[in-house]
Amino acid sequence: MTEMAKVPDGFGRFGEFGGKYVPEALMGALDELERGWEAAVADRAFSEELTRLRREVVGRPTPLYEAKRFSELAGCRVLLKREDLAHTGAHKINNTVGQVLLAKRMGKQRIIAETGAGQHGVATATAAAYFGLPCVVYMGAVDVSRQNLNVIRMQMLGAEVHAVESGSATLKDAINEALRDWVTNVEDTHYVIGSVVGPHPYPELVGALQSVIGDEARAECLELTGALPDEVVACVGGGSNAIGLFRSFYRDQDVVLTGVEAAGEGLDKRHGASISRGEPGVLHGARSLLLQDDQGLIAEAHSISAGLDYPGVGPEHAWLATSGRARYVAIDDHQAIRGFKALAQSEGILCALETAHAIAYVLDTDVSGTVLLGLSGRGDKDVATIAEVLSR
Ligand SMILES: *Cc1c(COP(=O)(O)O)cnc(C)c1O
């Protein structure tokens, strides 16, 4: 991608972050998407249909769960927003069902997506199957062999999985390939991006579709406890489950917002802490904080959890971090495994390894009062990884 087009300041930007740094060939499609989304939001029939899909397909509202025994371990009152109980086992379906409904409204006849560990690919294939649209998922070749179960799930759902061999053959390369497909097929294709990343309007759009998490949780918390939480905590990969939870609390200045990144093997070794250790730069069509080497080349991220293994982060998080409205901490692979075990054995919940980073933060840090924690997904996909680490 050499020919860059830049949006004027103040347009699709979060402070100095965000924007629309894409080849000219995509500008039209992004404008069309922005207009399509604005029209959909203003259309009552669209929001009614989305509400119905959330109830019948996704299984919303998800419960707010008081984790009594885990609270004793953590030394604070922990409320879990159970996105693990949503269809396909994570928050990702909130986004894919909304985007495919939008694509259908815009008359698109083909769905494409990228996926890292396969969770977003499965959620997109599920939504595409529901609407009867063909679906192509780009996935790094390394991930295809690491996450074979999800490849099979996508194929069973009728999606075509393309293994991407270029670069490090992981998520960042899969996104590049999906963008390339989109440039070629913009007329009839909608690209369902999997997090609050990418060029404007994606960070805005995905954040809006995930905000159902925070809107529900805020009301549920008020009903259960009579007050807002003192702190809201979520893990941050690209950042969509965290933005979905955080946005509903932006105006509640007393509520602390904490994002938990992956410290991987340690912040001085391989990790995925783009906010704690990244520098400003442009990747996948937006300006944000990125892991880079001395020459500004994108560095490879590492985390035991595939969903946090991304060298960038959504521009809204970069803005929340630099403006000080949210704070960001990093939790390493070992802490995450301990968090996973603690939640499993105190509550009977096998959470995703991504979520386990947020759990470990609450467990290992002196947090007080009421903590609302986004339980972004279930951990069935991770049990083999955890068993392997524990047997070493
Ligand atoms: C994909 C995923 C994440 C990371 O993605 P975000 O966009 O940061 O939310 C976190 N948890 C689970 C369970 C996931 O599947």
189-223 pLDDT, tens digit each: 999 999 999 999 999 999 999 999 999 999 999 99
pTM value is: 0.96
Looking at the DSSP bridge assignments, the partners of residue 327 are 258
Helix H or strand E segment including 219? helix 212-225
| pLDDT tens per residue across span 248-272 | 999 999 999 999 999 999 999 999 9
Domain hosting residue 43, numbered range? 13-54+92-206
Residues 85 and 96 in one domain: no
Number of domains in the chain: 2
Residues 259 and 200 in one domain: no
Q: Which of 114, 204, 261, 354 does the annotation list as catalytic?
A: 114
Residues 113 and 198 in one domain: yes
Q: How far is the CA of 124 from the centre of ligand 1 (A)?
A: 14
CB-based contacts of 282: which residues, under 8 Å, 6+ apart? Answer: 19, 21, 288
Q: What is the 3-state secondary structure (H, E, C) of 187-205?
A: CCEEEECCCCCCCCCHHHH
Residues 42 and 68 in one domain: no
Q: Which of 206, 234, 259 is the last residue of a domain?
A: 206
Could you tell me if residue 6 is inside a domain? no
Helix H or strand E segment including 140? strand 135-140
Residues 200 and 228 in one domain: no
Supply 303's token pair.
């985390």
Q: How far is the CA of 24 from the centre of ligand 1 (A)?
A: 30
Looking at the DSSP bridge assignments, the partners of residue 332 are 264
Residues 119 and 136 in one domain: yes
Q: How far apart are CA 257 and CA 259, in angstroms?
A: 7
* Residue 145 main-chain phi, psi, to 5 deg: -80, -30
381, 352 Cβ separation under 8 angstroms: yes
Residues flanking ligand 1, CB < 6 Å: 90, 92, 119, 195, 235-242, 307, 352, 354-355, 376-377
Checking if the pLDDT of 110 tops 60, the result is yes
CB-based burial, 167-190: b 16+ in 10 Å, e otherwise: eebbbbbbbbbbbebbbebbeebb
